[in-house]
Amino acid sequence: MTNRVPDRAGRHELAIRRMGIDTYNEPIVYLRRDSAVCRAEGFEAQARIRLSTQRKSIIATLNVVSAELLDQNEAGLSEAAWRLLSPVDGEHAHAAHPEPVHSLSAVRGKIHGEMLGAGAIGEIVRDVAAGRYSPVETAAFLTACAGERMSHAETVALTRAMLSEGRRLSWPKTPIVDKHCIGGLPGNRTTPMVVAIVAAAGLVIPKTSSRAITSPAGTADTMEVLTPVELDLAAMQRVVEKEGGCLVWGGGIGISPVDDILIRIERLLDFDSDGQLAASVLSKKAAAGSTHVVIDMPVGPTAKVRSAAQAARLSRLMTEVGAEVGLCVEVLQTDGTAPVGRGIGPALEARDVLQVLQCESGAPLDLRARSIALAAAVLEMGGRAPPGAGSGLAAQLLDSGQAWSKFQAICAAQGGLRTPPRAAFQRVFEAPAGGRLSAIDNRRLARIAKLSGAPKAPAAGVELHVALGSAIERGQPLLTLHAESRGALDYAAEFAEEGGMALTIEA
């Protein structure tokens, strides 16, 4: 029953309608300008609004609708609002002004130079997790904490607060090892090898990975062309129990609900905050139950970490904060100047991974070398090799086929090993002139791969045939575009032809 007059508490009953509008993770509520609730409560566009059913309540941003999109007594929900409120059929809601968010005074204090106590940080993180912060409020919090304005104590408190939101995994034995890469480098897909090598050595590595948000492939996207990755917690635990390792998508496990919200706004703002980064990575690793973590930190002029000084500062921060939350952390600074391997795109990267694991003669050496270096660090941290001997052990596990066997077993446990798809449409680009390959524009290469259809079209992407610094002959193949449709191929090819192929050849 709908009812346009207020009930005893002055609340207007609203029928709920799913609008089919995706605003990513920002809940939006749509109301008619001439609805009783807008008129009575004085709601205006972009106001914050609390919408409640008998079972649930959310805070959202209001968009005011003047046209025929809604009935006068309806509340429309964006996809995020729909997920959060999860109304049952025929359920009604009422709208109200939200109570003030108390922790925002702590954020205002921080903006004015005060330090945040652990209690205030806990409250902020709980409010962010509950969706009480609007995007601009979240941006203000992140900005107030950026630029080295977070103390060591604040970073530790933030890590602990993020850790206490969401699920925390525990495992029957220690050590639990893990690896993490800070800042994407196209093709830097070392995780499958590291997991296979260290699990083959008998260590436990319950690895969760993310999907691409702005890049042509995340580790989860690459692994998905090889095996199912959307496992729930119970299935993931069974795989780890059986094989000592897994390679699953982290989104299904629910260990870092706050992190997704903060990272999204940080991406929009495109700025680095060492404290935030440390808290984000370390809280996720601790929540996954890890005890020993190796961090791959690519350093280069277009990488996330750009200078040796920043690398040193961030490494120290991560090591120290890690220790405070019970994590043994080791940071490996790596070359961040050029892509790794040959493929950019889920299936093309999976082919590189398989070549390295199967020790094919043509396997990309840079990907192999990085994988061995990272696995070595994990093996030494986890006590499987004495200092300096990790590298030899990692190479031996790879060359003997033990890592490949372990990888196959993990994939079998996750639901079966698949053969990566091949793109139906390909186009080769040849060198217009000879010379030396003096620069690679990583961002442009990633853009071309995305225009080809990656990561949604898993076979799509860019295959690089030449390495930075190598001599190029006129007419030599430089790269191949892969696409799943003729249209996408033409589109990416046209973009590559018009603006250049992201490769600089010096005569």
**Sheet holding 435-440: strands in order across?**
471-472, 435-440, 503-506
Rounded to the nearest 10 degrees, the angle between the axes of helix 390-399 and helix 191-200 is 100
DSSP 431: -
Of residues 373 through 432, those in contact with a copy of itself by CB under 8 A are none
Which pair of structure tokens corresponds to residue 358?
């199967």
Query: Hey, is 249 helix, strand or coil?
Result: strand
Sheet holding 292-299, edge to edge: 177-181, 292-299, 328-335
Size of the residue set binding a copy of itself (CB under 8 A): 68
24 binds a copy of itself per the rule CB under 8 A: yes
- Based on the shown chain and the rule CB under 8 A, indicate whether residue 22 belongs to the binding site for a copy of itself: yes
312 binds a copy of itself (CB under 8 A): no
Q: In this chain, which of 29, 59, 60, 65 binds a copy of itself, going by CB under 8 A?
A: 65
Task: Among 202, 254, 271, 424, indicate the residue that binds a copy of itself (CB under 8 A).
Answer: 271
| Interatomic CA distance for residues 418 and 223, integer angstroms | 10
CA–CA separation, 407 and 247 (whole Å):
9
Q: Does 34 participate in binding a copy of itself (rule CB under 8 A)? A: no
> 89 an active-site residue?
no
Q: Distance (Å, rounded) from C-alpha 63 to C-alpha 163?
A: 34
Our CB check for a copy of itself shows the closer of 82 and 407 to be 82
Q: Shortest Cβ distance from residue 59 to a copy of itself (Å)?
A: 13
301 binds a copy of itself (CB under 8 A): no
Binds a copy of itself (CB under 8 A): choice among 88, 136, 433, 471 = 136
The residue assigned the tokens 């070595």 is 376
- Phi-psi label, residue 181: left if phi above 0, alpha if psi -120 to 50, beta otherwise: beta
> Rounded to whole angstroms, how far apart are CA atoms 473 and 350?
29
CA dist., res. 14 & res. 5, Å (int): 10
296, two tokens: 């791959």
Q: Which is nearer to a copy of itself, 66 or 470 (CB)?
A: 66
What the block records as the tokens of 28 is: 């939006």
Stretch that binds a copy of itself, among 232-240, 351-359, 365-373, 491-499 (CB under 8 A): 491-499
Of residues 18 and 418, the one with the C-beta less far from a copy of itself: 18
**CB atoms near residue 322 (< 10 Å):** 25
Least separation, in Å, of the C-beta of 45 and a copy of itself?
A: 4
Task: State the CB neighbour count (10 A cutoff) for residue 304.
Answer: 18
Which of 260, 272, 441, 490 does the annotation list as catalytic? 272
CA distances from 373 to 335, 390, 407, 432 (A): 12, 8, 18, 37
Which one of the spans 110-118, 250-258, 324-332, 469-477 is the region binding a copy of itself (CB under 8 A)? Answer: 110-118
Q: Is 301 left (phi over 0), alpha (psi -120 to 50) or beta?
A: alpha
| CB 306, min distance to a copy of itself, A | 12
- At closest approach, how far in Å is the CB of 11 from a copy of itself? 10
CB of 438 to a copy of itself, least distance (A): 24
Cα–Cα dist 152/320, whole Å: 9
Nearest CA among 268, 212, 270 for reference residue 453? 212
Please select the residue that binds a copy of itself; options are 2, 3, 34, 45, rule is CB under 8 A: 45
Residue among 8 and 173 whose Cβ is closer to a copy of itself = 8
- Residue 252 DSSP symbol: G
Please report how close the Cβ of residue 301 comes to a copy of itself at its closest, in angstroms. Answer: 14
Instruction: Tell me the closest approach of the beta carbon of residue 339 to a copy of itself, in angstroms.
Output: 18
Residue 174 amino acid letter: T
Instruction: Return the residue of 146, 412, 417, 467 that touches a copy of itself, per CB under 8 A.
Output: 146
Binding marks (x or -) toward a copy of itself, 437..456, rule CB under 8 A? -------------xx-x--x
Question: Least distance from C-beta 44 to a copy of itself, angstroms?
Answer: 7
The answer to whether 378 touches 393, Cβ cutoff 8 Å, is no
Cβ distance to a copy of itself smaller for residue 397 or 462? 462
Catalytic residues: 272
Residue ranges in contact with a copy of itself by CB under 8 A: 5-6, 8-10, 18-24, 26, 30, 33, 36, 39-42, 44-46, 63-69, 78-79, 104, 108, 111-113, 134-140, 142-144, 146-148, 213, 264-265, 268-271, 450-451, 453, 456, 487-488, 490-491, 494-495, 498
